[in-house]
Amino acid sequence: MATTINVGPVYPPYQLDDFQRCPLYWDLTKRWKVRATKAWTAQVIGNAVAQGLESYLTEGTADDAHVLAQKFVVENYPALADRSLKGVVELTRQGVELGINTQFSFKQILSVEQSYGRTRPDLVAYDYDGALAVWDHKVKVELDDRFYQKEIAKYETSNQFYEYAWIVGTKFGEAVERVYAHIIILGPSPRTVLHPVTMTPEHVRHWLHGASRDWHRMKAIEEEEAEAESRYTGCQTNYGPCSMYEGCHTFAGDEAAFPAIYERVTRGKYAR
């Protein structure tokens, strides 16, 4: 008989990702960020496309979807952006158009952009075979075919996907059998892909056993009952050095020196 898992506090999957990469990085980025010299618009495009698809999947029209997505872009276009407003609007239009033309397999929608605990899946529905399933939109402004399989592989071990399966299954009283990555690729070969990640109760439980232990540690650090440790294996990422690299390797974690290159977080994913 399986032992009961003491789940404790539950954190969003993006925080769990950061913590597992490096507890100190997770802790520092709640207070500090690198002074921006350029704002990347890929996230704005992704969020705008999601806004459009939310409208479309809740009985809106294609026109409604495009209008809402463009409105989101105009309202959230950042200073020092890496693309012009015109370019971001056009890429968003392409993303929405691809998204609404995706051949989804669901037969009954249960929720669209509804919060379940501290997660917010894009779509929950009964699939073509009656299975409970979750869909998550992933907008890729550029995804070369050379890196496609590497991208797909990430979803097989995604904290986000397993947390969706666990929390949605708990809500509906039945196991989520699959989580789909709805990948909207804008270039160089525009297309959409629905990649299913199969879930089983045993596999989700195995994930929860490890995730819940990390959640307890995260809570203890927030309440100053434990100290966040650095993990030097996380100092280099696929995109170069970690954003807190200088904080660890130049300032040795001394936050009094951080204002030389960092600024305080006042809003964003961790700001309170």
At residue 124, the 3 state secondary structure works out as: strand
Q: What is the mean pLDDT of the chain?
A: 94
Residue 104: count of CB within 10 angstroms of its CB: 18
Q: What is the mean pLDDT of residues 68-76?
A: 98
Q: In 3D, which of 142, 141, 126, 143 has the Cα closest to residue 180? A: 126
pLDDT at 271: 43
Q: In 3D, which of 202, 237, 268 has the Cα closest to residue 32? A: 268
pLDDT digits (tens, 9 = 90+) for 30-65: 999 998 888 899 999 999 999 999 999 998 899 999
pLDDT at 60: 84
Contacts for 244 with CB less than 8 Å, ≥ 6 apart:
22, 24, 25, 28, 29, 32
pLDDT digits (tens, 9 = 90+) for 128-142: 999 999 999 999 999
Please state, for a pLDDT cut of 70, what percent of the chain lies above it.
97
CA distance 32 to 259: 9
pLDDT at 185: 98
Q: Is the pTM of this model over 0.95?
A: no
The structural domains of the chain, ordered by start, are 8-36+227-272 (no CATH), 38-101 (no CATH), 104-198 (3.90.320.10)
CA distance 40 to 201: 38
pLDDT digits (tens, 9 = 90+) for 125-182: 999 999 999 999 999 999 999 999 999 999 999 999 999 999 999 999 999 999 999 9
Please state, for a pLDDT cut of 90, what percent of the chain lies above it.
92
CA distance 221 to 236: 23
CA distance 50 to 67: 13
8 A C-beta contact, residue 163 and residue 16: yes
pLDDT at 52: 98
CA angle, 231 then 235 then 238, to 5°:
130
The answer to whether residue 4 scores a pLDDT higher than 90 is: no
pLDDT at 38: 86
pLDDT at 193: 97
pLDDT at 268: 56
pLDDT digits (tens, 9 = 90+) for 248-272: 999 999 999 999 999 999 865 544 3
Q: 3-state SS of the chain: helix, strand, coil percent to 5?
A: 45, 20, 35
Q: What is the mean pLDDT of residues 88-104?
A: 98
